[in-house]
Amino acid sequence: MSGKMGRRDFGVSCVGATLAALSGAALVGTSKKAAFGQENGAADGQNSGNGENGEKMRILLVVGGHSYDREGLHAALKDCPNSTFEEISIPEKQDMLKPGLSKDYDVVVFHDQSFFELTQEQKDNLTALWSDEGIPTVMLHHSLISHPDFPLFRDVFGAQFIIKETEIEGRVYRKSTYKHPTDVNIYIVDRPHPITEGVKDFKITDEVFQYVYFNPRIDVLARTDHPESDAPVVWTWRYKKTPVLGLIQGDANGAFGDANYRKILYQGLRWLVDQKKNG
């Protein structure tokens, strides 16, 4: 489905403190059938449930730079059927994000909010990881604002929270805004898609962004009509060899504890992995 739906440039509470501090500076399913086993329940990142080939999906969660609902997100990932997950914090573990990561993990979920200076080697590693290796990637909420001065993140995620007026591809984007907490109506745009199949329209309490940059070629799967948010809230994108899922919501347990949100996340993770396997 085309991402060229009518939209405003959408646009962090979580970002609030960071924006204030930095304001003077730069600041998955293989088919349309359920791809996961029905069994839930896990400990220490281990999940039960049998996939089609009996292999567990290996998830790497990347955090850092901002507090987050660790209990809520960990609970959601622990309940993801037929999977395991590990968490790393950056910048301490930044050097793990390099070519060869796919040997140990099937998909990476970014939920960091990073402004630290990347070395040239780290930039080169990320470029190779996404451009050449193509590890499946989820852009979750906080990471939409990460590394605003390194355009690779904007290119890979297909979107970016703008911290100051910025020109992108000849168009000037104003500073993005946020509102938290608020009730958010989520409308499924592409119901047949394996990521959103079986998910009905729903409402959660979470943060919204407005005046965010979106690549006009993203495929929008879900949107909102919140007056202080841009329309796209769930989308897919491919950056070179990297299949990408973007999820705007994910600030707090209003999202992580919601069954509909979890279904989108779980089906999205598997879909990304299958996209990589199937080329």
The answer to whether the CB of 87 falls within 8 A of the CB of 63 is yes
Statement: residue 31 has pLDDT above 70: no
Position 67 scores a pLDDT of 84
Question: Is residue 7 domain-resident?
Answer: no
Q: Output 197 or 9, whichever has higher pLDDT.
A: 197
Tens-place pLDDT, residues 117-132: 999 999 999 999 999 9
As beta bridge partners, residue 59 has 85, 107
Sign of the dihedral defined by the CA atoms of residues 208, 126, 116, 107, in that order? positive
User: Residue ranges of the alpha helices (H) in the chain?
Assistant: 13-22, 70-78, 120-128, 151-157, 253-256, 259-277
- Read off the pLDDT of residues 179-226 as tens digits, 9 standing for 90 and up: 989 999 999 999 999 999 999 999 999 999 999 999 999 999 999 999
In this structure, of 31-45, 97-111, 184-198, 255-269, the range with the lowest mean pLDDT score is: 31-45
Average pLDDT over the chain reads: 85
% of the chain residues with pLDDT over 90:
75
E runs forming strands in 81-191: 83-89, 107-110, 137-140, 159-160, 166-168, 171-173, 177-188
User: In this predicted model, which residue has the larger pLDDT, 42 or 194?
Assistant: 194
Entry pTM: 0.82
Instruction: Examine residue 5 and state whether it is found in any structural domain, yes or no.
Output: no
Which amino acid would we find at residue 130? Answer: W
What pLDDT shows up at residue 32? 34
Q: Which range marks the domain in which residue 86 is found?
A: 13-277
Q: How many CB atoms lie within 10 A of CB 137?
A: 25
Report the Cα–Cα distance between both ends of the chain, in Å, rounded. Answer: 19
pLDDT-derived band at 236 (thresholds 50, 70, 90) equals very high
Cα separation, 244 vs 108, whole angstroms: 10
pLDDT of residue 185: 97
- What is the tens place of the pLDDT at every residue in 58-78? 999 999 998 899 999 999 999
Position 223 in a domain: yes
Which pLDDT score, from 0 to 100, does residue 36 have?
A: 32
Query: Taking the CA of residue 85 as centre, how many other CA atoms within 13 Å lie in the half-sphere pointing to its CB?
Result: 27
| Rounded mean pLDDT, 97-122 | 97
Q: Is residue 224 part of a domain?
A: yes
pLDDT confidence of residue 217: 96
Residue 241 domain-assigned?
yes
- Count of CB atoms situated within 10 Å of the CB of 146: 25
Cis before 181 (ω within 30): yes
Least-confidence region, from 13-17, 65-69, 189-193, 256-260: 13-17
pLDDT the model gives residue 274: 96
Mean pLDDT throughout 76-81? 97
Question: Which residue type sits at 40?
Answer: N
Asked if residue 198 belongs to a domain, the reply is yes
* Burial class for 127, CB neighbours closer than 10 Å (0-12, 13-18, 19+): middle
- Kindly indicate the confidence band of residue 47, based on its pLDDT and cuts at 50, 70 and 90: low
Strands 57-63 and 83-89: parallel
- Poorest-pLDDT segment among 28-42, 134-148, 152-166: 28-42
The count of domains in the chain is 1
3, part of any domain: no
pLDDT band for 54, please (50, 70, 90 cuts).
Answer: low
The radius of gyration computed from the CA coordinates of the chain, to the nearest angstrom, equals: 17
Q: Output the furthest CA–CA distance in the chain (Å, rounded).
A: 52
Q: Which residue, among 271, 228, 268, 234, has the nearest Cα to 8 in the 3D structure?
A: 228
State the CATH number of the domain containing residue 157: 3.40.50.880
4-13, 209-218, 244-253: lowest mean pLDDT where? 4-13
Residue among 27, 13, 25 nearest 67 (CA): 13
User: Is 23's pLDDT higher than 80?
Assistant: no
**Residue 6 is assigned to a structural domain of this protein:** no
Q: Quick one: pLDDT band at residue 3, thresholds 50, 70, 90? A: very low
